[in-house]
Every structure is written in C-alpha cells, then in structure tokens.
Amino acid sequence: MTIHATRGAALLSWVNSLHVADPVEAILQLQDCSIFIKIIDRIHGTEEGQQILQQPVPERLDFVCSFLQKNRKHPSSPECLVSAQKVLEGSELELAKMTMLLLYHSTVSSKSPRDWEQFEYKIQAELAVILKFVLDHEDGLNLNEDLENFLQKAQGRVGAQENCVVK
C-alpha cells in the first residue's frame, strides 16, 4: 500500500529541511536508516549514532526502533509502532511511520522551535495535521493501526493512490 502523496511530500520536505544528508526524493530512500540516525543525533544534540552508521542496516534499524520505543509517552506499552521486517522489505508505509514519529519527537523535544516559514503553506498545513494527529492519538491503544490509516488517506477521504515522490 502506498501513502497519501501530500503526506509523503510533507514528510520528505521536513527531512530535507534538516540538511542532515543529501536531499531525498522518495520515502524508500530512507530504508537504510542512516538519515533517521542523523535525525536522532540532531534531536539529542549528540553524535552517539555515528558508530551505528558503520553497522549493517538491521542494527541501524534496531537503533531507530529502540529510540522510537523508549521515547513513547507510554514506553512500557508492548505494541511496537514499526515493523522492522516490513522496513527491511521496503515498505513505504513503515518508513513513513518512522519519519512521522521522528518529526513528532523532534518537535516536542526541541528547545528552539523550527522555522516553519521555510515551507510553503500547503506543507506547513500538512505538517501541522501530522503533528496534531500523533499528539491526539499517542495515548490510543491502536496507535500503530491509526498511523497506517492516517498515512494512507487524506483528511476525511481516501487519498490519491500514487507513490510519494517529491519533484
């Protein structure tokens, strides 16, 4: 299943705005987890992920999943938000979920709010919808399923079934 094009474009715009790596044009370019690790280092203000970047993809993925799990509002919740197997298989949806959760963690943990003016209005609005969704649902019992449903459709209607590529 593909993610809603506008949501994917907004997530990619956010990732590219961080300037942690060369710009990415598709969600699937995040599959090796190196950009996610650089985002985590930026969130923490450390370089602890630098050694992890030298590891194979499964270890990098474990690092990112561990970060997402321990930074949940209820980290003891047994539900894993991201399927490592699906990421390794190239699931655009799982990669988008990871990006969405990192956006949320970056925003709520930031001591200096990002300059949202750099994004065009449509992207600002979509990022706001994404952040509000996670904030409203982070206590939910079905956050994993809710994230998947949210990423696949537009607000109140089924979204375009096109691959997410920024042009």
End-to-end CA distance of the chain: 21
Residue 68 within a domain: yes
16 or 113, higher pLDDT: 16
Instruction: Identify residue 165 by its one-letter amino acid code.
Output: V
pLDDT for 164 beyond 50 = no
Instruction: Identify residue 30 by its one-letter amino acid code.
Output: L
Instruction: Identify residue 5 by its one-letter amino acid code.
Output: A
What's the structural domain count of the chain?
1
Residue 97 within a domain: yes
Record the pTM. 0.80
Neighbours of 111 (CB within 10 A): 5
Residue 167 within a domain: no
Strand-pair category, 153-154 with 157-158? antiparallel
Residue 159 within a domain: no
pLDDT for 131 beyond 90 = no
**Average pLDDT across the chain, whole number:** 80
| Domain of 39, in residue numbers | 5-152
Average pLDDT of span 55-68: 92
CATH number, domain at 59?
1.10.418
Residue 82 in 3-state DSSP? coil
Residue 61 within a domain: yes
Residue 24 within a domain: yes
